[in-house]
Chains A and B, each alone.
Chain A
């Protein structure tokens, strides 16, 4: 083969794929705006700032997305809806303010796209999937005290063990059995843990969008 043919071919084939796979999607999806109703109200999604946005940084730093996805497949693509992980497939508009996007690749643990939704029902227990902050703290501190056989590491370093001075702190963890701490001490979440839990509890991609239909779990 001639070198000139070779170099031209190498350039053109790659340029084509680069353009088609990254530039075109950016043109199509790069300027998505939030959806509003006719009066400009009911804006979705909203740009989270403050503590939940800071929590996403902790989520990224600790690498949560290596084991948890945040994307729900439609019922034709898997059982995500049936499990109670969402009420519809997630679509591009859901993520316009998510940076980095942390869709996740592997489900060593459950999907978290709607962890903060208060309506969804877990198919295996029949109970609401929503958990309060106290549960999240306990789960982050000692995962196996909350979920049997969990493979999640303990994030005890996001908590502080300290001597109780005067009153017991309001957000101190209620630890039992092997996880309990000695009398006179308490375990409290630090600001990173609080941000992370605020973030997890803010995750809700169930708002109706015109481009995707709502689905219900098959009975």
Chain B
């Protein structure tokens, strides 16, 4: 077994052992990926800014319902899905494709051939998201969470994803022979699962036209897997790459990783129906999901133990490596999100938390505090290798982190606590609807403050990214790290 371990670890070992050939190969791969990846990242970040604005408007509207009132395009029930979709498809899915493609290229040792095809795919995707968000704001949404885009938009998006996915499949075909490193397991899963997930959900709803509660079942299955298989796989695959890479230490245990991956693949797809606890569905369907949620302890605990033990002895990296700071934050958030998912899947807890902001907070933990933070970390690592210069300022990175961590943290925490208060209030039959709604007010104010932090964090990030696009960064050499106390004293 030990030769498998060492063989696998060569792909994630320290740069110290790099030979010239490896360096040249990597430079060629990065060069081949430059145009399509920068295009993916640029569009993802533009969507991040768009969704930040939409999300802020939605948050303010819950506090001040007359804010931008009387405009059909900007009513809460349209701005909210426009926000979630622009975030999920515009930002999250595109950054997932970008980082995913780069990782596959690196780990399969393949340069990207014919990058134009990939750029076409991205254009399709962006046209689709734009049309979809406009359709939602125009009141043409389909009325199913995460599948709000009208049918023709879903077709455009799928075409875009097929182009991108064909690319990823080609890289897997042309891979250098040998064993697959852990990250590749998750990445292969992510791209394959999303293609199936997205087409199956849309075909079942749009073509087979399942109706009644089956539609809710397919919708819950899709929404859950969109977060827990597609985005989560990309996130976990990235963490498995960046923690060993930056710390220069091999992954703690290959066997744990294997157990973690297979239990994840087997269980995650079954966890979705807890979204419908208490709903008009047969008990078995929901019970299966509750059991799957509880068993998710196995994959979550194994990946967390692996991450933490791999980083052991190098915790100082959290202080000075931007990539590790973001990625480790994401890893912790994944554990917290999974724990909340487990607890709230128990029927007794769900009788309070179900149908409240608690579920929204749980999704936000996964898609923002975990997934997006890991992606920010990956961008800080990858982009310098694409543009050939280093990030301009560690202070800007630090401000981005503060905005994202505190802003995101505040939004999620207030939404979570607000959800518990909301659920408990609805469960008190003496309390009138009017009072229940008013009990949410302080939490909604807190949420708005969190959004202001997020706006600043994302603006700093986008500006910093712009300087990289314009090649205004520092000359290549030492990566941009956060200053240590020693260096600060020297100023």
- Chain A interfacial positions (CB closer than 8 Å to B): 1-3, 6-7, 9-11, 13-14, 16-18, 20-22, 25-26, 28-30, 32, 60-67, 69, 71, 73-74, 76-79, 82-84, 89-92, 94-110, 122-125, 143-144, 147-157, 217
Q: Does residue B475 face the partner (Cβ distance < 8 Å to A)?
A: no
B contacts, CB < 8 Å to A: 61-63, 65-66, 69-72, 75-78, 80-81, 139-145, 172, 175, 179-180, 184-185, 188-189, 192-193, 196, 200, 204, 208, 210-219, 221, 229, 258, 262, 265-266, 268-270, 272-273, 275-282, 285, 288-289, 347, 350-352, 354-357, 359-360, 422, 426-435, 437-438, 440-441, 444
Q: Decide if A94 touches B280 in the complex (CB within 8 Å).
A: yes
A78 touches B188 (CB 8 A): no
Nearest residue (CB) in A for B79 is A63
Q: Which 6 A-B pairs have the closest CB atoms?
A: A63-B77, A17-B269, A61-B139, A60-B143, A123-B429, A73-B278
Q: Are B212 and A14 in contact (CB under 8 A)?
A: no
Taking CB atoms, residues of chain A closer than 8 Å to B285 are 21, 25
Residues from chain B with a CB closer than 8 A to the CB of A1 are 179-180, 185, 258
Option from A9, A83, A108 in Cβ contact (under 8 Å) with B440: A108
B262 close to A125 (CB less than 8 A): no
Least distance between A168 CB and chain B CB atoms (Å): 23
Q: Are A10 and B78 neighbours in the complex by a CB distance under 8 Å?
A: no
**A99 pairs with B288, CB closer than 8 A:** no
Q: In the complex, are the beta carbons of B192 and A14 less than 8 A apart?
A: yes
Q: Shortest distance in angstroms between A167's beta carbon and chain B's nearest beta carbon?
A: 27
Residues of A within 8 A of B434 (CB): 147-150
Is the CB–CB distance between B266 and A105 below 8 Å?
no
Q: Could you say which residues of chain A place their CB within 8 Å of the CB of B62? A: 108, 151
A sample of 21 cross-chain residue pairs with beta-carbon separation below 8 angstroms, ordered by A number, consists of A7-B188, A11-B192, A13-B265, A14-B229, A14-B265, A26-B214, A26-B217, A29-B281, A32-B212, A61-B140, A79-B426, A95-B216, A101-B215, A103-B276, A106-B357, A124-B430, A124-B433, A124-B435, A150-B434, A154-B66, A154-B69
Contact: A77 with B277, CB < 8 Å?
A: yes
Q: Of B266, B269, B354, B429, which is within 8 A of A18 by CB? A: B269
A65, B430: Cβ atoms closer than 8 Å: no
* Pairwise interchain contact A78-B427, C-beta atoms closer than 8 A: yes
Task: Check A14 against B76 for contact (C-beta < 8 Å).
Answer: no
The dominant DSSP class at the B interface is: helix
Compute how far the CA of A82 lies from the CA of B428 in the bound complex, rounded to whole angstroms: 9
Contact between chains at B214 and A109 (CB < 8 Å) = no
Find out whether the CB atom of A153 lies under 8 angstroms from the CB atom of B75: yes
Report B-chain residues with C-beta under 8 Å of the C-beta of A157: 70-72
Residues of chain A contacted by B435 (CB below 8 angstroms): 124, 149
Interface hub of A28, A69, A83, A154 (most chain B Cβ within 10 A): A83
Which residues of chain B are within 8 angstroms of A89 by Cβ–Cβ distance? 280
How far in angstroms is the closest Cβ of chain A from B372? Answer: 21
Neighbouring A residues of B352 by C-beta, 8 Å: 78
Per the bound structure, the CA–CA distance linking A106 and B258 in Å amounts to: 37
On whether the beta carbons of B141 and A61 are closer than 8 Å, the reply is: yes
Given contacts A67-B77, A71-B279, contact A106 B359 (CB under 8 A): yes
| Closest partner residue, chain B, to A29 (CB atom) | B214
Chain A residues with CB under 8 A of B356:
106-107
User: Quick one: given A92-B281, A110-B433, are A100 and B213 in contact (CB under 8 Å)?
Assistant: no
Most chain A beta-carbon neighbours within 10 Å: one of B65, B216, B281: B216
Considering the complex, give the chain A residue whose CB is closest to the CB of B292. A17
- Tell me whether A29 and B204 are in contact (CB under 8 A): no
B432 touches A124 (CB 8 A): yes
> B193 to chain A: which residues have CB within 8 Å?
10, 14
Q: How far is the CB of B236 from chain A (nearest CB, A)?
A: 14
Cβ-defined contact, B278 with A9, below 8 A = no
Tell me which residues across on chain B come within 8 A of A25, comparing CB atoms.
214, 217, 281-282, 285
Given A10-B192, A14-B193, verify A107-B426 contact (CB < 8 Å). yes
Contacts of A73 in B (CB 8 A): 278-279, 351, 354
Residues of chain A within 8 A of B440, CB atoms compared: 108, 151
Chain A residues contacting B143 (CB-CB under 8 Å) are: 60, 65, 100, 102
A84 to chain B, nearest CB (A): 8
A29 and B172 CA atoms in complex are apart in Å by 40
Find out whether the CB atom of B282 lies under 8 angstroms from the CB atom of A29: yes
CA distance A21 to B286 in the complex (A): 10
Chain B residues, CB < 8 A from A66: 76-77, 80-81
Measured CB to CB, the closest approach of chain A to B389, in angstroms, equals 36
Indicate the member of A6, A7, A13, A152 with the most B CB atoms within 10 Å: A13
Q: Nearest residue in A to B172 (C-beta to C-beta)?
A: A3
Residues of B within 8 A of A124 (CB): 429-433, 435
Contact A154 B70 (CB under 8 A): yes
Find chain B residues with CB under 8 A from A83 CB. Answer: 426, 429
Complex alpha-carbon distance, A14 and B359, angstroms: 24
- Closest chain-A Cβ to B100's Cβ sits at a distance in Å of 14
Question: Contacts A14-B265, A104-B355: A21 and B270 contacting too (C-beta < 8 A)?
Answer: yes
Taking the closest CB of chain A, its distance from the CB of B453, in whole angstroms, is 23
Nearest-CB distance from B288 to chain A (Å)? 7
Identify which of A18, A107, A147 contacts B200 (C-beta below 8 A). Answer: A18
Could you say which of A6, A63, A98 contacts B141, with CB atoms under 8 Å apart?
A: A63
